[in-house]
Amino acid sequence: MSVLERIAQQAELRRTFAIISHPDAGKTTLTEKLLLFGGAIQLAGTVKGRKASRHATSDWMALEQQRGISITTSVMQFPYNGKVVNLLDTPGHEDFSEDTYRTLTAVDSALMVIDAAKGVETRTIKLMEVCRLRDTPIITFVNKLDREGRPPLELLDEVEKVLNLKCTPITWPLGMGRDFKGVYHLLEDRFYLYSGDKHRVSEIETIDGLRAPGLAERFGDVYQTLLDEIDLVQMAGDGFNLDDYRAAKLTPVFFGAAINNFGVRELLNGFTDWAPSPLPRIAEFNGVEREVYPQHGKFTGFVFKIQANMDPKHRDRVAFLRVCSGVYRKGMSLHSVRLDGPVRVNSALTFMAADREAVEEAYPGDIIGLHNHGAIAIGDSLSEGENLRFTGIPSFAPDLFRRVILKDPLKAKQLNKGLDQLCEEGATQVYRPITNNDVVLGAVGTLQFDVVQYRLQDEYSVASAFEPVTVHCARWVVCSDPKKLKDFVDKNELRIAKDHYGELVYLASSAVNLAMAKERFPDIQFLDTRTHV
């Protein structure tokens, strides 16, 4: 087999995705169960347990320990159903940050987890908006059916209305809560029965046929309800259509109880059968945009996340790169398109849950971690020498803002240096108002501010405090007519700032203020995402 054939074959097997959900919907639990079914962890093992038992096996783990964060669980790879699955963790809870958003630019599809009692929640809505930027296909898992939740039809209706995504149920619950008996698989015409056993992974009772004899006697009312609901579902929809799923026009929906391993295997089967393999990515080459296909013979990729070591003795950072084309081989030399020169990496790491060290090659869809001393920034494209620059790795307008107070005015230079570096890592966004010397930080999660404050002190010896500022949101402002843009800036200079890259930003004081600015200046575009250059 030629190298090109091998790349094409390996790319075709990859399924690279992330889970989107609101905190507590069950993302961690589901991740653990996916790894369990993928054979990556032992029965009853937990993601946390796996981390602990592998500590001290490599320097990598030491780094992880120092920071008290998990780098290895950032990317999990396991084989399933003849495919190679790459699951990218999206930081949740209080670590919620721009990384969460940007990770979604590195996947080819996403899995949305919804709590059956709570339905569509705020974080999910936000993450869906990011998925929509690239029309990322979504598979939905409605979790916690072992508890009393909302009626399934109502939940699907909410997904359709709130997220504007058509639902096609693949499985349907037979009862719920104390009466939860299992699910019916609409495509297989088969019941999977629920035993409530946490440890059951393989054998599970199934019954073929929606109207198999004896079901009414065995399950009573919940069976009749299911028949009625299936009727409604079949009347309302056209069934599953792979092209529509891939075009992000519909989401196949599975029901289950992740905590009891239930419904997860069916989900994983559907996912590996339908989710897209690595898609072409848009890159700029000599000023012209073109698509780079995974089968392109030369290695290319882009950096979507940087994780810094907090130990000041090692200024090491790990850049997470998504391979877009070609093959990465350990030790190969890498070209930075931004710097137009080689980048040195101290070591590279590929992620294979079974045996990390043994992996020597990474293919399109895979993620590699590159250890470096700051030569790599978020959004960077790396290649074998070609100046292919991937576009569309966006910055996201933050929701939270603070003004930086410098405790020692003589440290202004260090402060700016530190903030610029932290900004390049994606730890925060920095805005400098054009009419004064303030520095305003933006973030999507409050923990980001704590990290910035800590690292300014720790790595740059700058003591700082952050105080509230009357900024409701930040919007990049652009206009095709430079005169109109200048007029807008002149008339609003108190609310205009420049971001780290020198781009103009409007810092609105309130939602009403933003709405009024839009109304008064209809030719100005107010953007909530901006592509890195």
| Residues annotated in a binding site | 21-28, 89-93, 143-146
Q: How many residues bind ligand GDP (CB under 6 A)?
A: 16
Tell me if 447 contacts ligand GDP by CB under 6 A: no
H or E element, residue 426: none
Of 19-27, 51-59, 183-191, 511-519, which part binds ligand GDP (CB under 6 A)? 19-27
Of 118-126, 256-264, 280-288, 291-299, which part binds ligand GDP (CB under 6 A)? 256-264
Tell me if 103 contacts ligand GDP by CB under 6 A: no
Tell me if 261 contacts ligand GDP by CB under 6 A: no
Return the closest-CA partner of residue 476 out of 396, 365, 401: 396
Tell me if 237 contacts ligand GDP by CB under 6 A: no
Tell me if 25 contacts ligand GDP by CB under 6 A: yes
Please say which residue, 96 or 488, places its beta carbon nearer to ligand GDP: 96
Cα 112 from Cα 138, distance rounded (Å)? 7
Question: Least distance (Å) from ligand GDP to the CB of residue 27?
Answer: 3
Tell me if 29 contacts ligand GDP by CB under 6 A: yes
Cα 265 from Cα 422, distance rounded (Å)? 41
Cα 38 from Cα 232, distance rounded (Å)? 34
* Torsion-angle region of 528 (φ positive above 0: left; ψ -120 to 50: alpha; else: beta): alpha
Please say which residue, 147 or 518, places its beta carbon nearer to ligand GDP: 147
Tell me if 73 contacts ligand GDP by CB under 6 A: no
Please say which residue, 258 or 451, places its beta carbon nearer to ligand GDP: 258
Selected from 12, 24, 157, 188, the binder of ligand GDP by CB under 6 A is 24
Tell me if 395 contacts ligand GDP by CB under 6 A: no
Task: Scan residues 123-182 and list those touching ligand GDP (CB under 6 A).
Answer: 143-144, 146-147
* Torsion-angle region of 297 (φ positive above 0: left; ψ -120 to 50: alpha; else: beta): alpha
Please say which residue, 28 or 309, places its beta carbon nearer to ligand GDP: 28
| Dihedral pair phi/psi, residue 272, rounded to 5° | -70, -25
- Helix/strand/coil for 299: coil
Cα 507 from Cα 441, distance rounded (Å)? 11
Tell me if 118 contacts ligand GDP by CB under 6 A: no
Selected from 13, 117, 207, 259, the binder of ligand GDP by CB under 6 A is 259
- Find the angle CA(384)-CA(85)-CA(353) to the nearest 5 degrees: 85
Cα 526 from Cα 514, distance rounded (Å)? 9
Beta strands in 296-454 (DSSP E): 300-308, 317-325, 328-329, 334-336, 341-343, 347-350, 361-362, 367-372, 381-383, 389-390, 394-396, 400-406, 429-433, 440-443
Selected from 16, 20, 26, 292, the binder of ligand GDP by CB under 6 A is 26
State the distance between the two ends of the chain, measured CA to CA, in whole angstroms. Answer: 38
Please say which residue, 117 or 133, places its beta carbon nearer to ligand GDP: 117
Beta strands in 355-499 (DSSP E): 361-362, 367-372, 381-383, 389-390, 394-396, 400-406, 429-433, 440-443, 464-468, 473-478, 496-499
Pairing of strands 504-508, 496-499: antiparallel
79 beta partners:
84
Please say which residue, 142 or 504, places its beta carbon nearer to ligand GDP: 142
Please say which residue, 135 or 148, places its beta carbon nearer to ligand GDP: 148
Please say which residue, 96 or 401, places its beta carbon nearer to ligand GDP: 96
Cα 290 from Cα 307, distance rounded (Å)? 30
Is 171:252 a contact under the CB 8 Å cutoff? Answer: no
Tell me if 21 contacts ligand GDP by CB under 6 A: yes
Tell me if 119 contacts ligand GDP by CB under 6 A: no
Binding site for GTP, residues? 21-28, 89-93, 143-146
433 beta partners:
497
Question: Least distance (Å) from ligand GDP to the CB of residue 399?
Answer: 20
Question: Least distance (Å) from ligand GDP to the CB of residue 190?
Answer: 21
Question: Least distance (Å) from ligand GDP to the CB of residue 146?
Answer: 5
Selected from 41, 142, 163, 257, the binder of ligand GDP by CB under 6 A is 257
Q: Which residues bind ligand GDP (CB under 6 A)?
A: 21, 23-29, 92, 143-144, 146-147, 257-259
